[in-house]
Chains A and B, each alone.
Chain A
Amino acid sequence: MIQLTNVSKKFAGRIAVDDLSFRVARGEIFGLLGHNGAGKSTAIGMMLGQVWPTGGEVKICGHDVQSNRRAALMPVGAIFETPVFYDYLSGARNLEILSTYTAPTSKARIREVIEWVGLTGRAQSKVRTYSHGMRSRLALAQALLPKPELLILDEPSDGLDPEGIHEMRQTILRLQRELGLTILLSSHLLNEVEQLCTRIAVLQQGKKVFEGNVADVKSARGKVTLKTSDFANAAKVLSARGLITATEKEKYITLSEGRSIAEVTQALVAAGIAVDGIWQHEQTVEDFYLNLIKAAAKS
């Protein structure tokens, strides 16, 4: 659905995006993570034809965004952080205006979208009277108007209260479930990304430092929490038998390829080391992200 190939962008000598490549497959929710200024918004800008890449190629649904903008953006809806509209016009009028930039849209379709996002009854009110949450819903409505196949969400929960964030999260899941949309989500909220995304890419200073499945990130393959009164001795025994490759914080062990928790337990019991607890470590995306950023900064 989205394909970035060796995409770069320089602003006045400063590299904002550096040789970025990734693919987003149809039907997945893909998360784009990174600190402020990591290049997420620039990358999204290039996907939407708002920022011209210095190098590389951006394709959406197989169409090059630069050379075939119309075909590439036809099936796309987008929401940006802090939704802005023509405040002096009604919500419905805003939708009517924005729809004409894509294709002729019937009044029935506009009504349908207003109903879908739950703005019925307020559609004729001026946008300046809307709360932040209502503006977010209107932003969603404008993105859904052209019946998109792909939704690009740039910090959609920015500025929302906890209830609003929860509502937005449920809406994104509903969009994928009911409308089968492919979603690219850029967010600072790691918890949100963990709950929504199937795959993520992490950017740091314009470079991609990770791309992979959220499930893999969470399972932290091979990492095991070991609770024992004599961790140093246990680590020594397990290393000597080639069962582990690393230890961390006197708490975690990393299993060697093909080894299991059962083998580790057996080895420790045989060596007379009491095992108080042993289980597969599950890290949060936040832990993973922070470790990754630290490691990337060191290197």
Chain B
Amino acid sequence: MFFAQLKNELWKLFGKKRTYIGFGAFVVAQTAMLLMFKYTRWQGQFERLLAGNGYLASEYISALTVAVVMLVPQILLLMPLYVTLTGGDLVAKEAEDGTLRMILSRPISRVRLLLVKWVAGTIFSAVLVLALGAIALGFARLLFPWKNMFVFGELPHQIFGLFPPGEGLELYVFAHLFMTVNAIAMLSVAGMFSCFNMKPAAATILALSFLFLSMVMEHIPFFETYQNWFITYHFAAWVLVFQTPVPWPQIFQSEILLLATSATAFVIGALAFQVRDIKS
């Protein structure tokens, strides 16, 4: 029965057009960035950087390199927006539309209903992130060759990283798996707010505000020693896969903390949802 409910929850989620706005926005943004990289001075700057460090630019300006370049701004801007939009809708949209009242006239428990919705949201987040990665790589491959990977500027303890294509692809996949965990944490925070008596837009705005506040505080020098306490600090774990050697224990610590944050958000949301009155 759980899987039948999950299947139907996914029908609801993927059946509406607004779900695809996020995918559409990603495709547009990625196309724009790809064309900018190819036809502006951006590519030239990369080539000079590689040549200045003694590497052949023609060996490293590849589909994998460009895919990572295209990803970063979208991970920072578009992904949180669309994932929190979906999370904010989880319960609040159904409550606003009135369909929640119809569902809750049936013998399903609220916790079960929320769990089904949360799992569906998790699947949506994973599909969104993985599609984002696949589309970025696919588009980049259209204009750039399949060669070595060059990652620059995002690594905490080194300037850049260089990888052969096979290893680069492997790390690219790992990076997306970890980004999926980021997306799940963002969805869970928005979903938690959605369980309270508020409009879906309010839940989304609150979740984005929470993430923004966490990011700002994490970068205030006073809080430097407390960075571990901020959720956004752990969102950077995906970049660490491009560090040499890969700091797996640090990455897994961050992933566990993000999953624990998601679980906590789910429990708080479930409690709020359980005690509230559902009225027309």
A101 x B277 contact (CB < 8 A): no
A101 x B12 contact (CB < 8 A): no
Q: Cα distance A80–B280 when bound, in Å? A: 9
On chain A, the residues within 8 Å of B280 by CB distance are 41, 80-81
Q: Tell whether B105 is near chain A: CB-to-CB under 8 Å.
A: yes
Q: Cα distance A168–B47 when bound, in Å? A: 74
Q: Cα distance A82–B98 when bound, in Å? A: 9
A45 x B279 contact (CB < 8 A): yes
On chain B, the residues within 8 Å of A45 by CB distance are 277-279
- Report B1-25 CB contacts with A as 1/0, cut-off 8 Å: 1001100100110011100000000
Considering the complex, give the chain A residue whose CB is closest to the CB of B19.
Answer: A88
Considering the complex, give the chain B residue whose CB is closest to the CB of A52.
Answer: B277
Q: How many residues of A contact B (CB 8 A)?
A: 38
**Among residues 90 to 104 in chain B, which have CB atoms less than 8 Å away from a CB atom of chain A?**
97-99, 101-104
B4 x A88 contact (CB < 8 A): no
Q: Cα distance A248–B278 when bound, in Å? A: 46
Q: Cα distance A86–B4 when bound, in Å? A: 17
A78 x B98 contact (CB < 8 A): no
B99 x A84 contact (CB < 8 A): yes
- Report B100-122 CB contacts with A as 1/0, cut-off 8 Å: 01111111110001000000000
Max chain A C-beta neighbours (<10 A), residue from B16, B102, B113: B102
Q: Tell whether B77 is near chain A: CB-to-CB under 8 Å.
A: no
A101 x B107 contact (CB < 8 A): yes
B107 x A74 contact (CB < 8 A): yes
B108 x A101 contact (CB < 8 A): yes
**29 residue pairs from A and B, CB less than 8 Å apart:** A41-B279, A50-B104, A50-B105, A50-B278, A51-B278, A51-B279, A52-B275, A70-B109, A74-B107, A76-B105, A76-B107, A78-B102, A78-B105, A80-B98, A80-B105, A80-B280, A81-B280, A88-B15, A98-B102, A98-B103, A98-B106, A100-B4, A100-B5, A101-B103, A101-B107, A101-B108, A102-B106, A102-B107, A104-B4
Interface residues, chain B, with chain A CB atoms under 8 Å away = 1, 4-5, 8, 11-12, 15-17, 97-99, 101-109, 113, 275, 277-280
Pairs A-B, 5 closest by C-beta atoms: A78-B105, A101-B106, A84-B98, A73-B107, A97-B8
Known: A11-B277, A50-B101. 18 other contacts (CB 8 A): A48-B104, A50-B105, A52-B275, A69-B107, A71-B107, A74-B107, A76-B107, A78-B105, A80-B102, A84-B99, A86-B99, A88-B16, A97-B8, A98-B102, A100-B8, A101-B107, A102-B107, A142-B102
